[in-house]
Structure 1
Amino acid sequence: MDNHVFLITGATGAQGGAAVDALLDKGMKVRALVRDPASPAARQLADRGVELVQGDFDDAASLATAMRGVKGVFSVQLPPGREDTDSELRTGRLLVDAARAAGVEIFVHTSVARAGDQTQFVDWDSGRWWPDYWNGKSGVNDVVKAAGFPHWVVLKPAFMMDNFIPPKSAWMFPGLQDGVINSALRADTRLDLIAAADVGRFAAEAFAAPARFDRQDIDLAADSLTMGEVAATLSRVSGRAIESRALNGAGARAAGSNPGLVESQQWANVEGYQVDLATARSWGVPLESFSDWAGRHRDRFSFGTG
């Protein structure tokens, strides 16, 4: 990739970190936008040869500095908070504006499967399914597409496999450390799953071959499993007994699940990510099965009673 520089946002998180890994594997020059260059996670990036630029999504001046000389940008934003409902759209727009002003050629944005379909969801008109989340996701997608980049790609991953390992698992599945997956997912509900590493690999391929991926919305999932199948896989790879319990909403909340998370699981029962796995694989970018992913992360699991 010669001396082209690629800016990665969210580089200390799961998807941004995976993009860093994939780009470095291809020998690309990586710059990371970080809030605190002195943090342990940021220092680990620097030790691998990643250039650090201090900045914040809400600081337009710092975004302009980070964009200097950049050929491509990997974009990921945090979902809106309950008290700052337009945060994702606001910060996404600021990042896009900075990239366009700097003449960025390739903009790869990661969103979520079904973003843009939300008005078709069952009970959408009644205000169900956290509208701010879905409108923020689809809104940033629209901003990216309308910005006028020479090349853009919107990746739309389903549920992250990485949510089953710390630190995410402590919030997503609080009973998992005790060997139980409590959720409001029905026993027969299949959850579409993707590894963060695969999102990173898609981003790297898009940067390497922008014309091939140009102007594409790409739904991403490698497996579609019930929680019973997830528990069985985790039991097998860890050697510990993991149980799955399908609870109603009240039961899931009583078991420690966040109300917003319970609503998301109930959404999966009714709507779900609906990723076409064959289409996701048709791009020729290897996608990791949940079984292979779990085996690769065996040492990171912390759960079960043995």
Structure 2
Amino acid sequence: MPETYLVTGATGNIGRSVVTTLLSLGQKVHVFTRNTSSKIAQELSSDGATLFQGDFSNPSALSSAARGCSGIFLLTIPGPDAATFASTALEAFKSAALPDSVVVLTTSIFNDEKTSKLVNSPNAGLPNKPPHPFVTGYWSMNDAVETTVKESGIPHWTILRPAYFMSNYKDFNIRYIHFPALSTEKKLVAAVKPETKFEMNDPHDIGVFAAHALAEKGQPRWEHKGISLASEILTLEEKAAVLSRVSGINIQAEFADEAESTKSAENDFVGYMWFWQRTLSAKVDMDEMRSFGLPLGSFEKYLTKHREELIRALNDTKGGYGDMSTDELLAAAGQHGA
């Protein structure tokens, strides 16, 4: 018998993938969206989903959408109030959902014991300073949301922890946060080592994993698990080579030395992100990822599919993150492949 699942953030790339995968598995889907008349919402309706209008600030609307559902895909609103929104959403969901329900949450690959120790150490591994407020804010936000899910009382839960979104390389806002020299100088500049690995996520793959975690609730591979995700793991030079092949534009990888890396980490949140990546290294075992038996994309296939957007992005030299507040950066960094 098919069950019904509530999907929040359904018109973004991840949420849409959750919806279409659940429908392909023969399940029913309630889509919770701010704008039921949007093009994507209407397409999901045509595919067989039922639309409900509202957002996390309207618990009664979410309760209506949750009526009779066996689970919820929770895509939280990034920012300092993320845990509050998540708590409100889960309470509204529980008020109307079926008793033996499941929640699947997407958060961050950096939410683990090793990262917690690094972030909470006196100088966070740096000689003189704690990390940039963005770093502690980003980690604390995700940790609080995860705790909210674990303590929600919902019987089954799975937390999916993706890392770097492949969509960051074509998105006009996110690109400047991670690689500000990509369009202006055609360089991927990072304070990492040549051998440093980056977990790359196709947003569609995240949605596929989420849909299966919902539809297969209670199975040991999903039950009360925090799962770090990657579609592919690449070095900075490998990413530059893929960008070059797909776009036809020569993109070079550039590495900062150890002294530059430390100075950058002390003075700039992007520099600290690279310090984070260099210190913690890759967290995903790709053999374990493949053991789920679910299809995984690649950076090359993703960029090829979005080649026109990529080329526009590589030729856009406007913008930057310099005037963005920490809260704005948190929101931008959590766009989940939109």
State whether structure 2 residue 111 is matched by structure 1 residue 103.
Answer: no
| Equivalent residue, structure 1, for 2:168 | 163
Counting aligned pairs with the same residue, the percent is: 30
Equivalent residue runs for 1:223-234 within 5 Å: 223-234=232-243
- The answer for the alignment partner of 2:307 in structure 1 is 298
1:228–1:169: structure 2 CA closer, same or farther, 3 Å change rule? farther
Amino acid at match of 1:96: L
Change (3 A) 1:185 1:33: farther
- Indicate which of 116, 119, 123 corresponds to 2:116: 119
Q: 1:190 is matched with which residue: 190, 193, 197? A: 197
Q: Which residue of 2 aligns with 1:222?
A: 231
The answer (yes or no) to whether the contact 1:177–1:304 under 8 Å persists in 2 is: yes
The reply to whether residue 203 of structure 1 matches residue 206 of structure 2 is no
Q: Which has the higher contact order (CA 8 A, sep 6+)?
A: 2
Cα displacement string for residues 208-238 of structure 1 (whole angstroms, at most 9, x for unaligned residues): 2212222222111132212211010121233
Pick one of 151, 155, 170 that aligns with 2:156: 151
Q: Distance in 1 between matches of 2:6 and 2:156?
A: 15
Q: Deviations over 1:94-121 (max 9, x none)?
A: 1221222223412111111131423311
| CA deviation string 1:118-152 (max 9, x = no partner) | 33116643442522221221222222122222321
Change (3 A) 1:176 1:31: farther
5 Å-filtered alignment, 1:264-283, equals: 264-272=273-281, 274-283=283-292
Give the Cα separation in 2 of the matches to 1:168 and 1:278: 33
Residue-pair matches, total: 295
Contact 2:264 2:272 in 1 (8 A): no
SS at match of 1:70: coil
How big is the shift at 1:250? 11
Q: How does 1:39-54 map to 2 (within 5 A)?
A: 39-54=38-53
Amino acid at match of 1:109: L
Match of 1:21 in 2: 20
8 Å Cα contact 1:160/1:196 also seen in 2: yes
**Distance in 1 (alpha carbons) for counterparts of 2:122 and 2:13:** 33
| Residue type at the aligned position of 1:159 | Y
In structure 1, distance between residues paired with 2:270 and 2:20: 29
- TM-superposed deviation, 1:275: 1.9
TM-score of the superposition, structure 1-length normalised? 0.84
| SS in structure 2 at match of 1:234 | helix
Question: 5+ residue gaps in structure 2?
Answer: 124-129, 316-338
Q: State how far apart, in whole Å, the 2-side matches of 1:268 and 1:16 are.
A: 27
User: Is the 1:37–1:54 Cα contact (8 Å) retained in structure 2?
Assistant: yes
Q: Distance in 2 between matches of 1:25 and 1:165?
A: 28
Task: Please say if residues 180 and 242 of structure 1, whose CA atoms lie closer than 8 Å, have aligned partners that are also in contact.
Answer: yes
What does residue 36 of structure 1 align with?
Answer: 35
Q: Greater CA deviation, 121-130 or 94-103?
A: 121-130
Counterparts of 1:78 and 1:228, CA distance in 2: 33
Q: 2:192–2:261: 8 Å Cα contact kept in structure 1?
A: no
Question: What is the CA-CA distance between 1:175 and the residue it aligns to?
Answer: 3.8
Matched, 1:131 2:128: no
Q: Is the 8 A contact 2:71 2:97 kept in 1?
A: no
- Answer yes or no: is the 8 Å Cα contact 1:183–1:252 preserved in 2: no
1:77 alignment partner, SS class: coil
Q: Say which SS state the counterpart of residue 8 (structure 1) adopts.
A: strand
Structural RMSD (CA) = 2.9
Q: 1:154 and 1:185 mapped to 2: Cα distance? A: 28
TM-score normalised by L of structure 2? 0.76
**Equivalent residue number for residue 65 of structure 1:** 64
Equivalent in the alignment of 1:256: none
Report the 3-state secondary structure (helix = DSSP H, G, I; strand = E; otherwise coil) of the residue aligned with 2:70.
strand
Q: Is the 8 A contact 2:159 2:226 kept in 1?
A: yes
